[in-house]
Copies of this chain bind each other. A is one copy, B any other.
Amino acid sequence: MTQKAESGLDIDLGNRCSAIARGWAGKTHATREGRPGEHARQRGAAYSSILAFGGQRLAITSDGIGTKIERAERGRRYDTRGWDLGARGVDDLAANGVEPTNLTNILDVDRLDERVVDELMRGLHAAASFAGIALSGGEIAELGSRIGGWGEGMHFNWCATAIGVVPQGNEPVDGSAVAPGDAVVAVRSRGFRSNGFSLVRKVMTQAFGERWHEAPYEDGRSWGEVLLTPSLVVSPLVAKLQRQGIAPHGIAHITGGGIPDKLGRVLRARGHGVQLDELWEPLDFMQAVQRLGNVPDERAYRQWNMGNAMLLIVAPADVEPTLVLARELGYSARRAGSVHPEPVIRLRSKSAGGADLSYPVSEDGGKA
């Protein structure tokens, strides 16, 4: 569950339900002890479950693209949503230093539309090809009135499970190797990820009414088009870094809860913090949404990635090779800051507000 207070959802209830689910799941882990599928101990940031199969360690993670689908329905354009679905899974694996290998997907629809299914799957194929993974199974379920959505046409919910391998000779990345003096490299994002869209929608509806997607954005495109910007997939950068012998000490995939939550989870493994003076600027349209909604920087950084898709914590000597490789692979990356011993995330907002912000690295990863 992610922080959703801004969108009117009950965070505490969500956290309690997640805790209930985790509780029941945890009781089952002993059943695989000493057998294939045994859970590895995970003390730091767990973006995925690490499982041992003989000498091979795999990881698995499941997620959906949630309410972001509404953007496709409003724009009547579906071929970019596969990037969102793919990015969720493979970049969560990458954040644990896992090389993604395969992905399955389940598409729940109210009724079928061949053209829409084709566009969705074409996009997922493109994202999978980019990430170097195989689509290894899927299911389309017609659920009638159990599925709803915006406007006319086929409505759907879409989720996926990604698996991957911990490269031989490597340990999973979970933040436990983070040390004061380490550098933070920020990889630039292309837009909002799947999370935080409930707030985006609320802001847009208040600003432009129910048909906000038709409102013009300043560059001449409609807001609907602007917000269709697909997610960036960063996992190939992490995999290639590892193949070159560069082992990040911690990786934060910035999704729900933003940098305070997702980097906080990585930092709490050692109880350190960071000073981030040179994060990427939020994309122009992201800042425009923030302005429209009068969302203070402090909250915006808790809701959205604010221009940063992934933060890599590396040894100082690894900064330059990381930036060079990122450039070679077409990513925008830069040194954004460094690790200090105090358990606090301090960052200079790159939004118009420009405030100096501070978030605690608490027991529960900085969650409110």
Chain A positions within 8 Å of B, measured between CB atoms, are 1, 4, 9-10, 13-14, 16-18, 20-25, 27-29, 31-32, 35-37, 39, 48-49, 51, 53-56, 58, 60-64, 66-67, 69-70, 99, 101-102, 104-108, 112, 114, 117-118, 121-122, 124-125, 128-129, 132-149, 155, 157, 159, 161, 163-165
B17–A101 contact, CB under 8 A? Answer: no
B1 touches A136 (CB 8 A): no
Which one of B21, B56, B63 lies within 8 Å of A117 (CB-CB)?
A: B21
Q: Nearest 10 A-B pairs (CB), nearest first?
A: A37-B101, A25-B135, A161-B161, A24-B121, A62-B104, A49-B136, A24-B125, A32-B134, A36-B165, A17-B117
| Nearest CB of chain B from residue A157's CB, rounded to whole Å | 6
B145 touching A28, Cβ below 8 Å: no
Interchain nearest-CB distance for A311 vs B (Å) = 22
Q: B31 to A132, Cβ gap below 8 A?
A: yes
Partner of A61, one of B135, B137, B146, B149: B137
A-B contact pairs, 28 of them (CB 8 A): A13-B114, A17-B140, A18-B140, A21-B121, A21-B138, A23-B121, A24-B118, A25-B137, A28-B128, A28-B135, A31-B128, A31-B129, A31-B133, A32-B134, A37-B164, A51-B136, A53-B56, A54-B55, A60-B102, A60-B104, A60-B163, A62-B104, A62-B106, A67-B146, A106-B159, A108-B159, A141-B159, A146-B147
Sample of 9 more A-B contacts, CB < 8 Å, known A13-B112, A146-B157:
A9-B142, A14-B140, A48-B137, A53-B53, A60-B137, A60-B161, A60-B163, A63-B106, A108-B108
Nearest chain B CB to A93 CB, angstrom units: 11
Between A9, A16, A124, A159, the greatest number of chain B beta carbons within 10 A of the residue's beta carbon is seen for A159
By a CB distance below 8 angstroms, the chain B residues around A58 are 53, 58
Query: A14 touching B112 by the CB < 8 A rule?
Result: yes
B contact residues around A63 at 8 Å (CB): 106, 139
Q: Which residue of B lies closest to A1 (CB)?
A: B140
Pairwise interchain contact B24-A66, C-beta atoms closer than 8 A:
no
CB within 8 Å for A137 and B49 given contacts A112-B14, A122-B24, A157-B146: yes
Q: Which residues of B contact A146 (CB under 8 A)?
A: 67, 69-70, 147-149, 155, 157
* A157 adjacent to B137 (CB under 8 Å): no
Q: What is the count of identical protomers in the complex?
A: 2
- Flag if B64 contacts A106 (CB, 8 Å): yes
Complex CA gap A105/B133 in Å reads 21
- Cβ–Cβ < 8 Å partners of A55 in chain B: 54
Which residues does chain B contribute within 8 Å of A49, judged by CB atoms? 102, 104, 136-137
CB distance from A184 to the nearest CB of B (A): 27
Bound complex: CA A301 to CA B67 (Å): 39
A165–B37 CB distance below 8 A: yes
Q: Name, among A13, A37, A149, A155, the residue most crowded by chain B CB atoms within 10 Å (CB to CB).
A: A37
B101 and A136 contact, CB distance less than 8 A: no
Closest beta carbon of chain B to A193's beta carbon, Å: 14
**CA–CA, A104 to B29, complex, Å?**
12
| Residues of the B chain whose Cβ atoms lie less than 8 Å from the Cβ of A128 | 28, 31
CA distance A23 to B117 in the complex (A): 11
**Residues in chain B near residue A141, CB distance under 8 A:** 64, 66, 159
Kindly report which residue of chain B lies nearest to residue A121, judged by CB atoms.
B24
Q: Is the CB of B20 within 8 A of A51?
A: no
Q: Which of B28, B69, B124, B159 contacts A133 (CB 8 A)?
A: B28
B14→A64 contact, CB < 8 A: no
